[in-house]
Structures are given as C-alpha cells and as structure tokens.
C-alpha cells in the first residue's frame, strides 16, 4: 500500500505529534507514505474565506504534483482534506472554475486525483480484521469520545466520507482497539478552530462546551483527526480554567496516537509528550492489562 502523502503546514510545526504518530502507525501496518516533493500550503483556512479561485487553485497545485506520482493522495489533517476534496469538486463540477484554476496554476487539472484521509485507508485498505490482528495491546475499555469536527465529514456531497450528522469511522477504530466508544451529541460540533488567533474567547466557549459534554458522557479522553481541533481542545484548556474555574484535565489525543499505543509503539515516538494535557489516564488504561486486543 503506497500513497502520495500531503503533510500540510501544521504537520511540520504545531502538529508534529499528528505527523509522527501517522508515520509510526503507517510503518507498523505496512503503509508507505511518500511525501509530495515541493508541496505548498493548501490555503486552509484563510483562502476560501477570501477568494474562491485561490481556494481551489492552492490545493490543485499540490494535486498536480501528486498526479505525477500516479498515487492516491493521503492527508492526516481534516482541514487539508476538506480543501483538497473541495478543489476536486470545484474543477469537476464547473468548467469555468476549471479554466480559472488552470490559468492560476499554469496547467490544467481535471480533479482526477483521489484524496483520502488516513482514516479511510485504515478502514478500507487495511481493514478492521487485519488491524485487529496487528494489535499488541488493547485500550482495555477506555471510554473515548470520538470528535470529528466540522470539516472531516462535511459537506457530504464534497467529502463523501461517513455520515455528516452521525459519523462512525473513528468510533469503529476505537472499538477495534478494545475501547468503548462513547455515545455523545457533539461529534460534529464546531470547536472554533479557525478563530484560534482572532477570537480566543469564542474558541474557549465552543471548545469548553464540547469538553463539558464529553465529560458528562463519561469519556476518559477525546480522540481527534484534525490539528486545529486538537489545538482548540488541548491548548485552550488552561484558558477555559481561567474563565470558568473548571479543571477539565481531559486528554485530547489523535486517533493515530491511540492506535500507535495499541501497536506497542513507544509514547515518545507518537508525540504524546507534546500534549498540553497529560495523557497519563490513557497510558494507565493501556498498562492495566497486558492482553492483546480482542479479535
């Protein structure tokens, strides 16, 4: 299994833990991720708020590079995934937009490069049976609130990924790892991620309500697949404490970090040491028993 890998800007900066855990998991499962040579920013989240042609052209430029590799493009950031899927939708549904994008990037792009999130690859190409047989450890019933955010599954006619209102892909991975997927109503609520630098107060309010509901639903941690969501929910917990006086102490982990632990990859190789909120509750759950995940 070989794919063109688009890391996006955050993977080499604020979301190195996402990047490292994705590569560690991929290696363990026989997935080869080949980073696209010469990749550039996809424009998330600013471009699509300012210029529609720019918003389609920035991802298209990267997809043209992937096209030369003859491989499907895999991303780990939900925002990058959204923008690339949107670019494909734009150029395939509008001849006028396709021409404008071609003028902008200097080459015609037909929207034919398949864009997939790593979660899709894990579920569809690796598959649950192989995934479960590869696990060395179980989540031992760890209660996980799977959080998809706004961009991974919306809009459905663009992403075509999971149910837009009640997605289950992350939940299926959690259950396969021996965890307990929490039934809760905030799976696709907005965390305010795009406002982290401009409206911190709104991010604190939105993300705080999400963590409140996860806690009320009995979750031990929240699993994410987006660096913006992770930053809002993890980094901003200190701001939430200042505003409300509540000590949330809710670990916010990437789904690849959970999977990496179950594959017996060392926590530091998964970037767990970079989390603002300690992942000790997660680590303790995994160390409480030594048996393999249920098959």
DSSP for 127-153 reads: -HHHHHHH-SS--TT-EEEE--TTTSS
Rounded average pLDDT over 196-223: 89
User: Which pLDDT score is estimated for 292?
Assistant: 46
pLDDT digits (tens, 9 = 90+) for 2-17: 999 999 998 888 889 9
CA distance 59 to 145: 31
pLDDT digits (tens, 9 = 90+) for 160-184: 889 999 999 999 999 999 999 999 9
Rounded average pLDDT over 77-104: 96
Confidence bin at 286 (pLDDT 50/70/90):
confident
Q: Is the link from the previous residue into 163 a cis peptide, with omega within 30 of 0? A: no
Q: How many CB atoms lie within 10 A of CB 27?
A: 14
Measured CA to CA in angstroms, residue 149 lies from 87, 89, 155, 167, 295 at distances of 20, 21, 12, 10, 30
Average pLDDT of the chain? 92
Q: What is the set of domains in the chain, with CATH numbers?
A: 2-118 (1.20.1050.140), 130-287 (3.40.50.11810)
- Please determine, for residue 294, whether its predicted confidence score (pLDDT) is greater than 50: no
């Amino acid at each position: 299994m070989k794919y063109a890998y688009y890391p996006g800007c955050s993977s080499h900066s604020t979301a190195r833990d996402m990047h490292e855990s994705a590569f560690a998991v991929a290696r363990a499962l026989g997935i080869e991720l080949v980073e696209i040579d010469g990749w550039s920013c996809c424009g998330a989240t600013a471009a699509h708020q300012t210029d529609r042609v720019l918003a389609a052209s920035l991802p298209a430029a990267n997809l043209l590079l992937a096209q030369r590799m003859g491989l499907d493009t895999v991303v780990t950031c939900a925002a990058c995934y959204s923008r690339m899927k949107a670019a494909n939708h734009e150029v395939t549904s509008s001849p006028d937009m396709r021409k404008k994008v071609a003028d902008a990037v200097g080459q015609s792009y037909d929207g034919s490069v398949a864009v997939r999130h790593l979660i899709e690859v894990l579920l569809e190409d690796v598959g649950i049976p192989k995934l479960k047989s590869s696990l060395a450890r179980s989540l031992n019933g760890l209660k996980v609130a799977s959080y998809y955010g706004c961009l991974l599954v919306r809009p459905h006619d663009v992403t075509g990924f999971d149910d837009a209102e009640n997605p289950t892909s992350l939940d299926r991975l959690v259950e396969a790892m021996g965890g307990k997927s929490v039934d809760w109503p905030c799976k696709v609520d907005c965390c305010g991620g795009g406002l982290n630098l401009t409206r911190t107060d709104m991010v604190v309010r939105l993300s705080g309500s999400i963590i409140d509901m996860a806690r009320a639903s009995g979750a031990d941690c929240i699993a994410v697949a987006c660096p913006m969501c992770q930053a809002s929910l993890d980094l901003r917990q200190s701001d939430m404490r200042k505003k409300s006086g509540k000590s949330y102490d809710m670990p916010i982990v990437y789904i690849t970090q959970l999977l990496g632990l179950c594959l017996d990859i060392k926590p530091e190789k998964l970037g767990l040491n970079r989390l603002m909120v300690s992942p000790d509750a997660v680590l303790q759950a995994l160390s409480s028993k030594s048996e393999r995940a249920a098959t």
